[in-house]
């Protein structure tokens, strides 16, 4: 069940080479007591891995990689307005979105075509086109890797934030998510507030919009803008959109008229990291095999033989340049394992 020195290059969408000292594919919950005991007894760090679309492997991993492949979907409850669907961590996110559209369980359509697994979705509260996981989340089951005990986290316990949750902060490295239960609507409520989505659906009269049309439009827009990791290895947005205090924003706006921004809450404003990076001159810049994507400056790509260190070296240059130009510290969105974690 446990393999040694496994190459993780096929298991991360940035396609960087890195070896796991120990590796196990988790296809059954029953495997976990033994695997967790093995890690504890040998004092090994753990790396739960889903689709590998939000990790940067800067070095070989000296511990045990648990490749989460648990499968299954169960309708656990329904009432007059909602369905509660429990989904195992290893299910593919986009396939789940398609399954729900077919079953007429509404709410996931704006989150179409996000790569990765269901178990990773709560980690950064995945979001796109104005919808976040938290909008449909009911609860999740997770194992405490220190004690082996299973615990249920309700919405409040997950402390979801913008691309953020308890599992990125206090709960980091402590829990292995086994399943996620989603609360999905019986009646569709389409949300097309994002300009790119509205434009893509401009010819459809508002009263004829359906979740399926929204999902198809999201897929079309994403395919036209974003490199497919299967063809051009990448991890999506490399940096989070920064939230800055209102007074900092007001002075930035004076210095840089036209700066793209969105209201976040009463005291802060969300800046578009892609805009900052592009305006700092990075779009299309290449350093050996690593490049800033020519259409979307938030995405760093690997031409095929880059190391995680090379990707992080370019990210550090961008980070420094944006800090010098705008006084804004960008935060890396994917989880960095190994050297380089310090600029996250």
By annotation, the residues acting in catalysis are 163, 237, 333
What is the distance between the alpha carbons of residues 196 and 114, in angstroms, rounded to a whole number? 16
The binding site for ligand NAP (CB under 6 A) comprises 127-129, 193-196, 225-226, 236-237, 241, 262, 272, 274, 296, 333
DSSP string, 307-322: -HHHHHHHHHHHHHHH
Of 37-45, 116-124, 238-246, 265-273, the window that binds ligand FAD (rule: CB under 6 A) is 116-124
Minimum distance from CB of 274 to ligand NAP (Å)? Answer: 6
What is the distance between the alpha carbons of residues 75 and 126, in angstroms, rounded to a whole number? 22
Binding at 13: pick from ligand NAP, ligand FAD, none (beta carbon under 5-8 Å per type): ligand FAD
Measured N-to-C along each axis, helices 93-103 and 211-225 cross at an angle, to the nearest 10 degrees, of 150
Report the run of H or E that residue 26 belongs to, with start and end: strand 19-26
52 touching ligand FAD, by CB under 6 A: yes
Query: Under 8 Å CB-to-CB from 314, ≥6 apart: which residues?
Result: 285, 287, 290, 292, 300
Strands, E, within 129-272: which ranges?
A: 131-132, 137-144, 150-154, 175-185, 234-237, 243-245, 261-263, 268-271
Binding at 193: pick from ligand NAP, ligand FAD, none (beta carbon under 5-8 Å per type): ligand NAP
Nearer to ligand NAP, 233 or 236 (CB): 236
Q: How far apart are the first and last CA of the chain?
A: 33
Of 75-83, 117-125, 207-215, 250-258, the window that binds ligand FAD (rule: CB under 6 A) is 117-125
Minimum distance from CB of 91 to ligand FAD (Å)? Answer: 10
In the region spanning residues 228 to 267, those forming contacts with ligand FAD, defined by CB under 6 A, are 229, 234-236
The residue whose two tokens read 């902060």 is 169
In the region spanning residues 209 to 228, those forming contacts with ligand FAD, defined by CB under 6 A, are 226
What is the distance between the alpha carbons of residues 78 and 40, in angstroms, rounded to a whole number? 40
Minimum distance from CB of 261 to ligand NAP (Å)? Answer: 9
Please report, as ranges, the residues that interact with ligand FAD according to CB under 6 A.
13, 47-55, 68, 89, 114-117, 119-121, 123-124, 126-128, 163, 176-177, 226, 229, 234-236, 335
């Amino acid at each position: 069940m446990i393999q040694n020195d496994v190459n993780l290059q096929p298991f991360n969408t940035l396609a960087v080479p890195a070896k796991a000292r120990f590796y196990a594919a988790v296809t059954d919950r029953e495997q976990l007591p033994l695997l967790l005991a093995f890690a504890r007894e040998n004092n090994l760090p753990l790396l739960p891995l889903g689709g590998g679309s939000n990790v940067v492997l800067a070095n070989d991993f000296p511990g045990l990689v648990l490749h989460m492949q648990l499968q299954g979907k169960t309708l656990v409850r329904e009432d007059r307005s909602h369905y509660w669907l429990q989904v195992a961590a290893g299910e593919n996110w986009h396939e789940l979105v398609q399954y729900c559209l077919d079953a007429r369980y509404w709410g996931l359509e704006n989150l179409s075509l996000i790569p990765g697994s269901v178990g990773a979705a709560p980690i950064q509260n995945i979001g796109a086109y104005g919808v976040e996981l938290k909008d449909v989340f009911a609860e999740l089951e997770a194992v405490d890797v220190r004690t082996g005990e299973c615990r249920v986290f309700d919405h409040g316990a997950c402390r979801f934030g913008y691309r953020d949750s308890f599992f990125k902060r206090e709960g980091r490295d402590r829990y292995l998510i086994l399943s996620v239960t989603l609360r999905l609507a019986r009646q569709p409520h389409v949300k097309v507030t994002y300009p790119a989505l509205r434009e893509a659906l401009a010819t459809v009269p508002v009263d004829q919009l359906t979740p399926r049309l929204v999902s198809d439009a999201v897929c079309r827009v994403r395919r036209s803008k974003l490199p497919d990791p299967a063809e051009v290895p990448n991890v999506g947005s490399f940096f989070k959109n920064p939230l800055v205090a209102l007074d900092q924003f007001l002075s930035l706006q004076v210095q840089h008229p036209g700066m793209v921004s969105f209201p976040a809450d009463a005291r802060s404003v969300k800046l578009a990291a892609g805009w900052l990076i592009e305006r700092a001159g990075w779009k299309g810049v290449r350093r050996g095999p690593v490049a800033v994507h020519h259409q979307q400056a938030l995405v760093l790509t690997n031409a095929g033989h880059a190391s995680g260190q090379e990707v992080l070296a370019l990210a550090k240059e961008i980070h420094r340049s944006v800090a010098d130009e705008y006084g804004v510290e960008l935060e890396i969105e994917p989880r960095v394992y190994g050297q380089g974690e310090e600029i996250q």
